[in-house]
Structure 1
Amino acid sequence: MMESKHVVLHLVSPSSGELIDLLARSVLGQLENLNAERFVWNLVRSIERVNEVLAVIAETRGVVFHTLSEKTNRRALEEGCGVLDVPCLFVLEPFVSTLADHTGAVVRFRASPRDMMDEEYFRRLDAMRFTLAHDDGIGGHDIESAEVVLVGVSRVTKTPTCMYLAHRGVRAANVPLVPGMPVVDALSKTKKPLIVGLTMQPEYLVRIRAKRLTMLKQNPGDAYADLDVVRREVLDARRLFARNNWPVIDVTSQSIEQTSAMIMELLKVRQAQRV
């Protein structure tokens, strides 16, 4: 068996850091037996902040990936890493260079993606607001305004999946299925949104719920995490999905990104059929 290797990654971003973190995760997924300790540095927009990052890099060493497009901050980080003899990569470079070489377009780096506040930016902002206002069954009166509605029992990743979809500009809502409670009436009447049922293997769901109860300092043996109870919940949910002919995604072995990609594909097919 190959010995496991370890690396420290410093992910430096002028904004939220989500993009570079996602890219780093994707890269790490291609490498076997490599454990990474990730430091995500967001909102790095000043020399003072760059110096804070460099101070920690000097102590921990490792590899630096960054998306600092602003010239002064980028130069300070890259020169500082050079002095420390730490590998430092501007991760946008290969993408920008390849497109520029292929198209002849002029490269004009912006300090932050927020400088490109175009129609897509505002569409994502609207989607985020909508999703936050329609989480966990809230705002059911105008659920028809959603593009996607996720339905499922507790802890099947409805909320994080909706949030990911919102970041992609999709107005997503989610509706929980609670034992003994009627299904939201608006679901049976809605016509516009794509409704998707999320499910999970009961044994796996029990472990997630028990961990949640422990974190909340509640009894992990509660009915909420009882295998027989959970099996009935999942079965009832599947029957509801079948009665309504809603597409179903088993999220047991899926990441949020994978589930969202499947939903985006379903949405694309649905939109094409309506043209």
Structure 2
Amino acid sequence: MVEKEVVYVVSDSVGETAEFVVKAVATQFNGGQVEIRRNSYVDDFEDIEDVILLAKKGRSIIAYTIVIPSLKDYLDRRANEENILAVDLLSPLMSAFETSFNKQAHHRPGLMRKMDEEYFRKIEAIEFAVKYDDGRDPRGIVKADIVLVGVSRTSKTPLSMYLAHKRFKVANVPLVPEVPPPDELFEIPRKNCIGLIISPDKLNEIRKERLKALGLASQASYASFGRILEELDHAEKVMKRLGCPIIDVSNKAVEETAGLILDVLKKERS
């Protein structure tokens, strides 16, 4: 089996420019079968270490657009130490500007966003929602404008994406009895957090349909009333500890729930 070829696109901003350049190059090689994995808003050494750890496991290249000197230097050094090819897509042209036009670069990420601030705020929020979906990285909780908590199948991810299109940075965290809620949830202001609840009957119906779509038996524990009641009881206790506003999403469309969330936040923050 041929090992997958991967290009890790790393940026301290959205990363669209770097991804576009990589795709343009990839098409010159039999249509570009290489896998591209974008890592946006890299803003600390830990983010870079995450990419290095993945890249050194296989046939990989790192292509980056990082303008913060300390991060760029760190990435260059670590890539060299791990024998990973890292390609700087900006510095050669920036150097040419400085030499030919006798100007100095600002070395600040995200300046291009000011050309169309609303558009790029939306892109940034969408990238944020993807990066911090389903509690995969608790660091996003303290960076988010809105944090959604609730049991599985309470529309946390669709709501995160819908609100992201309205330029809110949203993180969401599943509440599961067997997994303690992240400490970060208790460090943020209560007005930043929204609890999502749902009726047991509706949740049972949704989970059965989900299992059916996955080709699994509808009698699985995931959809059983006993399990559902246990999860909802646990979620209610966590939400009481958080002291956060709670919205019942039973029989509500994503758009309706999103409107209620924004109304609640407006009242909480006024």
TM-score of the two chains, using structure 2 as the length reference: 0.55
Contact 1:153 1:237 in 2 (8 A): yes
Please give the residue correspondences for 1:56-205 in structure 2 after superposition, counting only pairs within 5 Å: 118-191=116-189, 194-205=192-203
| Corresponding residue number in structure 1 for 2:82 | none
1:75-134 CA-partner distances (Å, limit 9, x unpaired)? xxxxxxxxxxxxxxxxxxxxxxxxxxxxxxxxxxxxxxxxxx632211111111111100
Q: In structure 2, what is the Cα distance between the partners aligned to 1:268 and 1:177? A: 25
Q: In structure 1, what is the Cα distance between the partners aligned to 2:150 and 2:140? A: 19
Gaps of 5+ in 2: 1-114
Q: Which amino acid aligns with 1:255?
A: A
Q: 1:158 to 1:195 in 2, by over 3 A?
A: same
Q: In structure 1, what is the Cα distance between the partners aligned to 2:206 and 2:119? A: 34
Q: In structure 1, what is the Cα distance between the partners aligned to 2:168 and 2:175? A: 22
Contact 2:176 2:235 in 1 (8 A): no
| Corresponding residue number in structure 1 for 2:207 | 209
Q: 1:122 to 1:192 in 2, by over 3 A?
A: farther
Name the SS for the 1:213 alignment partner: helix
Contact 1:162 1:173 in 2 (8 A): yes
Contact 1:134 1:174 in 2 (8 A): yes
Q: 1:192 to 1:146 in 2, by over 3 A?
A: farther
Q: Which amino acid aligns with 1:221?
A: Q
Q: 1:175 to 1:143 in 2, by over 3 A?
A: same
Name the SS for the 2:267 alignment partner: helix
**Percent identity, aligned pairs only?**
40
Q: Which amino acid aligns with 1:190?
A: I
Displacement of 1:233 after TM fit?
1.1
| Corresponding residue number in structure 2 for 1:247 | 245
Q: In structure 2, what is the Cα distance between the partners aligned to 1:135 and 1:206? A: 23
Q: In structure 1, what is the Cα distance between the partners aligned to 2:128 and 2:121? A: 11
Gaps of 5+ in 1: 1-116
Displacement of 1:244 after TM fit?
1.9
Contact 2:162 2:255 in 1 (8 A): yes
Name the SS for the 2:127 alignment partner: helix
Segments of 4+ in structure 1 off by > 4 A? none
Displacement of 1:268 after TM fit?
2.0
RMSD: 1.8
Contact 2:185 2:242 in 1 (8 A): no
Displacement of 1:191 after TM fit?
3.3
Q: In structure 1, what is the Cα distance between the partners aligned to 2:140 and 2:162? A: 21
Contact 1:141 1:186 in 2 (8 A): yes
Please give the residue correspondences for 1:213-232 in structure 2 after superposition, counting only pairs within 5 Å: 213-232=211-230
Q: In structure 2, what is the Cα distance between the partners aligned to 1:199 and 1:131? A: 20
| Corresponding residue number in structure 1 for 2:254 | 256
Contact 2:128 2:169 in 1 (8 A): yes
* Alignment length (residue pairs): 157
Q: Which amino acid aligns with 2:205?
A: R
Displacement of 1:213 after TM fit?
0.9
Contact 2:195 2:247 in 1 (8 A): yes
Displacement of 1:142 after TM fit?
3.5
Contact 2:191 2:265 in 1 (8 A): no
1:59-79 CA-partner distances (Å, limit 9, x unpaired)? xxxxxxxxxxxxxxxxxxxxx
